[in-house]
Structure 1
Amino acid sequence: MKFRYAFQQIVDLKNNERTQAEWVLSEAIGVLRTEQTMLDTLEAEKQRLQQELAGTTERVTTISHMQGMQHYVNHLHRQIEKKHVDVRQAKQHVEQKQQLLTDRMVDEKVWTKARDKAFRLHTALTLKKEQEALDEMASVRYLRSSPQV
């Protein structure tokens, strides 16, 4: 007797939902990495410009050039602040997607355990029926082989 779980479609659905949640989490992590990389790039550029600006005291440069560099450093500072906000939002998004994945994994596990329990019950019932059939066959053979009184 073949085992057929009545709720197999639900188990499959929960499996698909978990897989989709994994993809979404992976995508969110990719966005976070991109935002972090952009932030690191901006900070490195700001650091480079600040060092260059500090080095202009040792060489001859125009005030307008120094002012332009300072304006650009200020612009980078504002961009870095905005990027920090983007990184925080991306981290929150990743955390939400991690929680969603956790929820989906729990759902899938519940349904999988229910299916496994049903399978064990089915197996036990099948083995019991087989044993009863074997016992019946043994009883019939015994009765046929025993002398009639």
Structure 2
Amino acid sequence: MAKFLYTYEKIVGLKESEKRQAEWMLSDALGKLQLEQLSLDQLLEERKLWEERQMEMAQSAVPLGELAAVQQYLNYLDSSIQTKNAQVRLANGVVEQSRSHLTVKMKDEKVWLQAKERAFNRFRQASMLQEQNELDEMATVRFMIAAP
């Protein structure tokens, strides 16, 4: 029996490779998003702590200069939080773009795998037909030999 050789096997391999690369890109984008989100969470937590410290300072006798310095630092944290929010949105956009790219690559790979499967089914069917014809021919020859 003949061995199945798919003509476009290299293309199927390329499509699998492209899909794998798209998966890595998505994984990388998700990792960067997590880092940005973690950084944002840390900034928010730090701002909360400094805000509480400012409230405590306002209730006690603290020089106005220290209170102004804390307020200035809170303003800096607010600015950093705004910047980090923008970075998180950007990272989210990259994740969505990577997801979309992966979806396209998965569909592309699926199309080629289905084409390969159809080609294999045609090959198997042709092989079975050829085998059946050979068996029929052997049976005919035996019948002819047995019948004088």
**How much does 1:15 deviate?**
0.1
Match in the other structure for 1:69 = 70
Q: 1: CA distance between counterparts of 2:63 and 2:128?
A: 94
Q: Check conservation: 2:6, 2:116, Cα contact below 8 A.
A: yes
Q: 2: CA distance between counterparts of 1:146 and 1:44?
A: 97
**How much does 1:44 deviate?**
0.6
Match in the other structure for 1:107 = 108
Q: RMSD of the alignment, in Å?
A: 0.6
Match in the other structure for 2:5 = 4
Match in the other structure for 1:30 = 31
Using the size of structure 2 for normalisation, the TM-score is 0.98
**How much does 1:18 deviate?**
0.2
- Structure 1 segments unaligned to the other structure (5+ residues): none
Q: Which amino acid aligns with 2:136?
A: D
Match in the other structure for 1:140 = 141
Match in the other structure for 1:91 = 92
**How much does 1:57 deviate?**
2.4
**How much does 1:62 deviate?**
1.1
Q: 2: CA distance between counterparts of 1:116 and 1:61?
A: 78
Deviations 1:73-130 (A, max 9, x none): 0000000000000000000000000000000000000000000000000000000000
Match of 1:56, SS? helix
Match of 2:114, SS? helix
Match in the other structure for 1:18 = 19
Q: 1: CA distance between counterparts of 2:114 and 2:64?
A: 74
Number of residue pairs aligned between Structure 1 and Structure 2? 147
1:126 and 2:118 are equivalent in the alignment: no
Q: 1: CA distance between counterparts of 2:135 and 2:81?
A: 79
Using the size of structure 1 for normalisation, the TM-score is 0.97
Does 46-55 or 109-118 show the bigger shift? 46-55
- Structure 2 segments unaligned to the other structure (5+ residues): none
